[in-house]
Amino acid sequence: MVNVMRKKILTGMSALLVVLCVFLSGCSKRSTAYTAEPYYTYEDLFRKAGYTKRIAYMYMAGSETYESAEALKEAVGQPETAAVVEWEGSENKATSYNQGQDETKVGAVTSSYRYAKSGERIAKIGGGYYLEYTYKDGKLVQINRYPGEKKTADAEAVMTIEFKYDSEGNNTVVSVVDETDGNKLVYDYKLSYDEKGRLSTIVYVSEAGDEESYTNFVYNDKGLVSSAARYGKDDRLLVLTEYSYE
């Protein structure tokens, strides 16, 4: 299972992360498996901060070893494509795509979002899927992903994501059961936070319980993620993703 996940990540990292497509943000969820970004509403955060566009550049180490993020960037050079997310606040829509140096847009996917009167996100529709968000006592506890962009009465989820909290109310574990491609994948993310309560590290844990990789986050003065560095279990830098906002 882990080899399949790694292969998906390195071949697509589907833009980012897919983010990530990310970031997040999210065409092929498989490529985001080592970041968990799709489960965090960063597009909401940069919208609230007054930005409508996020640009992400990904630097991949491949088989090489680099002593620092700067060394990786210098060796790789400026990536030819960026993963972009644009927020249309008046319509509660976000469009993610890859953008080349000539500013052409590739693989654009537009998702629409629905919110409760209390402001909680309750649905995301786009990219051929319908995501339903469930809350308990004001906390997100589950996301179900259904095929198609309308949820029917007999629809069965192809992916279930559960959020688990500690005694202080921090989301410390995200558990995923994924059957999107017909093969069942089960894995967890272990989350930790900095002194300001911001997500600082995500550890990817395979079904066998092995910690396969971890991602560290750095924030800008607006409280938005400015970079994410993913490391292997041997602490070797694998991928650096840098974010800017407009």
Residues 6+ apart with CB under 8 A from 141: 134, 135, 162, 163
Cα distance between the two ends of the chain: 38
Q: How far apart are CA 86 and CA 74, in angstroms?
A: 28
Angle in degrees, CA 73, 78, 84, rounded to 5: 110
Strands (E) located in 137-198: 139-147, 159-165, 171-178, 185-193
Which tokens belong to 43?
């597009």
Which tokens belong to 49?
């901060």
Which tokens belong to 144?
């179900």
Q: Count Cβ neighbours within 10 Å for each residue of 109-137 and write b for 16 or more, e otherwise.
A: bebebeeeeeeebebbbbbebbbbbeeee
Q: Residue 156's pLDDT is what?
A: 94
For the chain, give percent helix, strand, coil, nearest 5. Answer: 15, 50, 35
Which tokens belong to 85?
């997310």
The closest alpha carbon to 19, from 43, 45, 1, 49, belongs to: 43
How many domains does the chain contain in total? 1
**Whole-model pTM over 0.85:** no
Which tokens belong to 142?
């589950």
Q: Residue 32's pLDDT is what?
A: 36
Q: Residue 42's pLDDT is what?
A: 55
Q: Residue 119's pLDDT is what?
A: 84
> What's the CATH number where 19 sits?
2.40.160
Q: Residue 31's pLDDT is what?
A: 34
Q: Residue 24's pLDDT is what?
A: 31
Which tokens belong to 47?
């919208």
Q: What are phi and psi of 3, to 5 degrees?
A: -65, -35
Domain range for 124: 2-245
Which tokens belong to 223?
């409280």
The closest alpha carbon to 239, from 80, 66, 81, belongs to: 66
Q: Residue 179's pLDDT is what?
A: 93
**Rg for the chain, CA atoms, rounded:** 17
* Identity at 178, one-letter amino acid code: D
Residues 172 and 190: beta-carbon distance below 8 Å: yes
Mean pLDDT in runs of 10 for the chain (246 residues)? Answer: 37 27 30 41 67 91 92 93 89 91 89 90 92 91 92 92 89 90 91 87 92 91 88 92 92
* Identity at 203, one-letter amino acid code: V
